[in-house]
Structure 1
Amino acid sequence: MTITGLITGSLRRLLLPLFALALTAMPALASTEVEGARIWPAPDHTRLVFDTRSPVEHTIFSLENPSRLVIDLKDASLKARLDQLDLKGSPVRRIRSAARNGDDLRVVLDLSKDIKPRSFQLEPNQQYGHRLVIDLIEEDRESLSDMTRPIVREDTGGKRDVIVVIDAGHGGEDPGAIGPSGTREKDVVLALARRLEKLIDSKPGYEARLTRTGDYFIDLRRRTLLARKHKADLFVSVHADAFHSPQPRGASVFALSQRGATSETARWLARSENRSDLIGGEGGVTLGDKDDVLAGVLLDLSMTASINASVGVGDYILKKLGNVTRLHKSGVEQAAFVVLKSPDIPSILVEAGFISNPQEERNLLSSAHQNKVAQAVFEGIDEYFNNVPPPGTLLAWQKRQKGGTAVSEYRVQRGDTLSAVARRNQVSVEAIKRVNGLTNDVVMVGQTLQIPSS
């Protein structure tokens, strides 16, 4: 053996006992820490979120008399100050915590009422790391659809308003995209939604509803359900786009794709609770007494009409947006967004701009720019519904009074096609050709077309 080997072996024999002694002297470390906590009260539930250093194994169970929720986290320790959480507006009266079984953590929520708990974990995103989410669902609270305020108007002789449901994307624990300077999409789109709500409510014949009025999250399917409960004539989801590089910019409008429509039709046919529901609102068609073939045909017809109307109103909005901001794409795009999958409600998603672009981030934070975008969206909605008012509405009555039931006029603009004009106005190409005496589908910029009522 070499001298070097003898020295190394001697050092190893000397150091190993010291290393073992150091290990026994060190306190046992929990495998993860609860580093932070947040609470998000919403109208019908409260969301409690724990920031954890890594995924954590956990169990929850409820106790009665008094009402409590117990949360056990395995191999975890508490670093956050739970006593500093603002519990106002939630069913939580107090939060207690203590070590359990040496390495575990127990958190106890003292509640003012019984709740239905739900828990799940979230992967890291732009703003947060690993998270454990506890939802406290208050089943005896008013549902979100009941939280809206009635709008008092002058008597319109029984003629109803056009109902527009505005959906501010993301919210609560879901910040959405985050801009270069830290602007959160959820805040920008809620501000835009409120401005749009005010504009819609200020116009006789319209009524706006918001899916969320504060900083809390609503499930995507729940948003479309709210639109149905409100008997919406139009659903508008407001977002701010993002990309991994700062160059892309411009506003966009999306409608549902045919692929998304096909998957949603299959989902509706598969779920029994949907079969007994109506398509087409009050006085529409119930699927409960139809066989699969007929129900599928009815759903396809309803979904196709909904998509055509969505693209139609989207065209109007996109043209108005082009007057106040740059457009990312010149036409209405189509994708399988979950919030657009209402089979009987025209639904669009408006991307107000790229929050990942520094200039557009500044624009989206500007009150003046927000007003311009909201005004453009409303003008597009108003122009569409004045052209194609839903039956029984004040707008439909006003159009009849003006003699507008037979035809209206439209001046062809650059980029228009006859099929696009027909789709926006919810009439057939053949009907437009017949009224205008056209023998082919060619139209010229500046040409005035007579548009028959749908």
Structure 2
Amino acid sequence: MVRKILSVMCIWVVVQTVHAAQNQIDGLRIWPSPDNTRIVLDMSSAPEFTYFPLKNPHRLVIDLSNTSDSKTLSLQSDSGDLVRKVRYSTPKNKQSARVVIELNRAASPSLFAMTPTKPYGHRLVIDLKDSGAPAASPSSSGTSASSKSPSSASTSSVVMDGSSSHRNRDIIVAIDAGHGGEDPGSIGPAGTYEKHITLSIAKKLEAMINGERGMRAIMTRSGDYYVSPNKRPELARKQKADLLISIHADAFSQPQPKGGSVWVLSMRRADTELGRWLEKSERHSELLGGAAEVISDKSNERYLAETILGLSMDHSMATSHDLGNKVIEEMKQVTSLHKRAPQAASFAVLTAPDIPSILVEVGFISNPQEEKNLNWGKHREKLAKAMFTAAKRYFKQVPPDGTLWALERADSRTHTVRSGESLSLLAQRYNVNVSRLKAANNLNSDVVRIGQVLTIPRS
């Protein structure tokens, strides 16, 4: 009798041990984007899985070894229109779980496991490339000039691929909200996610740029989803951006550091990227534009590409540094500065050799006071305004060829202010409105100083 009881107890212990060893699905999260939907299964330990797609209707079936199917699977309200439902199905055996993702249309799946990184544990990531997404659609909520209000729209004829009329196109600014989706970025002591702060500032900056005649904004992401750092410059290039501004919030292991900073690409990374680009011969034509079509000697194409890329990189880096200084000048009126000059670093988002690019750290989210400031909408508005004003100041001085601002600058004159002259006097002399005179020179007041060179727009 004792032997029988001991046997039963041993079996019970084995069963309980096996049950305890089972993996658990702790939760389900989903992030839709314009061309991809990411589903994440939070797991209690590293997942072992296999998967296969089915048609009629479209489904993705995932088998998880030694996993319990007791956790309820439910989609959040903003799950997009690609995924219709996530449910369990009959597993291969009693020790496994079978998860079925029902789709509204075909999608290309990519699955991989991720090890714990704060604030997440083990995860199974399911990326679904949407077959119904536009072929060349950037992760953008950019507004074409034709959809702007009459008071702010330029006369340029912009089309959806970012190309424009020859002489009066908009200046295109790509705005990159750092992190997103599965990647929260840094997390403040009160639980604030960097990805939410950066997207909020990016949308405010987007609205300011789209409200400015002769400028247009495109977004590398317009919602809470992940975009690879290496893909962000590619999205800017597809839209023929004149500038890329990447927005982030700094963090440190200690709470004391504070203040904003601006970063540009380091020369070491720039040289590396230049070499990487030159190795990819299929991109020569893209970077050379129409010039590549008339090059008959293919053996010399690499050297021409190297020369053009080198000049383009030099111009982009000089522009980035100049613009970075202007952003710092504006930001110091809004927040404290961690660095008072542009810093150089190897950030992947800055690696486009043909697009001036800056990364703006708006403050330390790890600092309790700055986290509080960043959660204040008015403060985020001021930070966006600082970036907008700096970009506007730069492009008013050096507008890209073919833009409306370049055309207007060519039609303008200059005047050096002398003793006794005022803005209203000069406006009267040149028969232009004071408001136009101020706008042409990016003036915030009616005050001018002796020796100041003013741009006088044509009446």
Q: Structure 1-normalised TM-score?
A: 0.81
CA distance in 2, matches of 1:25, 1:261: 59
Select 2:205's aligned residue among 172, 180, 196.
196
Q: Displacement, 1:211?
A: 1.2
Counterpart CA distance in 2 for 1:101 and 1:195 is: 52
CA offsets 1:382-415 (integer angstroms, 9 cap, x no match)? 11111111112121122223225xx999xxxxxx
The answer to whether the 8 A contact 1:67-1:113 is kept is: yes
* Matching residue of 2:127: 135
Give the equivalent residue in structure 2 for 1:208.
Answer: 217
Amino acid at match of 1:399: R
- The 1:260–1:448 alpha-carbon spacing in structure 2 relative to 1, beyond 3 Å, is farther
- Mean CA deviation greater in 144-153 or 121-130: 144-153
Q: Does residue 1:374 correspond to 2:384, yes or no?
A: yes
Q: By how many angstroms is 1:259 displaced?
A: 1.2
1:308 aligned onto 2:318: yes
Question: Is this contact kept in 2: 1:36–1:79, CA < 8 A?
Answer: no
Are the equivalent residues in 1 in contact too, given 2:58–2:105 (CA < 8 A)? yes
Measure how far apart 1:275 and its partner are. 2.8
Deviation at 1:361, TM superposition (A): 0.4
What's the counterpart of residue 417 of structure 1?
A: none
Q: Contact 1:35–1:79 at 8 Å: present in 2 too?
A: no
TM superposition shift of 1:322: 1.1
User: Contact conserved, 2:28 with 2:75, CA < 8 A, in 1?
Assistant: no
Q: State the 1:326 CA deviation.
A: 0.6
Aligned to 2:438: none
Aligned residue for 1:271? 280
Residue number among 77, 82, 94 corresponding to 1:91 in the alignment: 82
Partner letter of residue 26 of structure 1?
Answer: Q
Gaps of 5+ in 1: 1-12, 410-445
CA distance in 2, matches of 1:80, 1:66: 25
Q: Deviations over 1:120-163 (max 9, x none)?
A: 22232222111111011013311432864423225369511111
Give the 5 Å matches for 1:395-406: 395-404=405-414
Matched-pair identity in %: 43
Structure 2: distance between partners of 1:215 and 1:172: 5
Deviations along 1:204-233, whole A, 9 cap, x unmatched? 111111111111111122211110011111
- Would the aligned equivalents of 2:29 and 2:75 in 1 still touch at CA under 8 Å? no
Output the CA distance in 2 between the equivalents of 1:283 and 1:147.
29
Q: Aligned-pair distance for 1:300? A: 2.3
2: CA distance, partners of 1:230 / 1:123: 35
Alpha-carbon distance in structure 2 between the residues aligned to 1:161 and 1:87 = 33
2:247 aligned with 1:238, yes or no? yes
**SS in structure 2 of the partner of residue 108 of structure 1:** strand
Give the aligned residue type for 2:351: K
Cα pair 2:264 2:320 within 8 Å, conserved:
yes
| Count of aligned pairs between the two proteins | 399
Q: Deviations over 1:309-349 (max 9, x none)?
A: 11111111111111211111110001111110101000000
Question: Whole-Å Cα distance in 1 between the matches of residues 272 and 279 of structure 2?
Answer: 11
The CA distance in 2 between the partners of 1:273 and 1:69, in whole Å, is 34
Moved more, 125-134 or 74-83: 74-83
Where does 1:5-404 land on structure 2 (aligned, <5 Å)?
20-24=10-14, 26=16, 28-29=18-19, 30-86=21-77, 88-98=79-89, 99-142=91-134, 143-145=136-138, 148-152=142-146, 153-155=153-155, 158-279=167-288, 289=298, 290-404=300-414
Residue 269 to residue 123, structure 1, CA distance change in 2 (3 Å) = same
Classify 1:94/1:267 alpha carbon distance in 2 versus 1 (closer, same or farther; 3 Å).
Answer: same
Indicate conservation of the 8 Å contact 1:278/1:284, yes or no.
Answer: no
Shift of residue 117 of structure 1?
Answer: 0.4
Contact map agreement 2:143 2:217 (CA 8 A) in 1: no
Q: How big is the shift at 1:18?
A: 8.3
User: TM-score, normalised to structure 2's length?
Assistant: 0.80
Counterparts of 1:357 and 1:67, CA distance in 2: 47
**Letter of the structure 1 residue corresponding to residue 45 of structure 2:** S
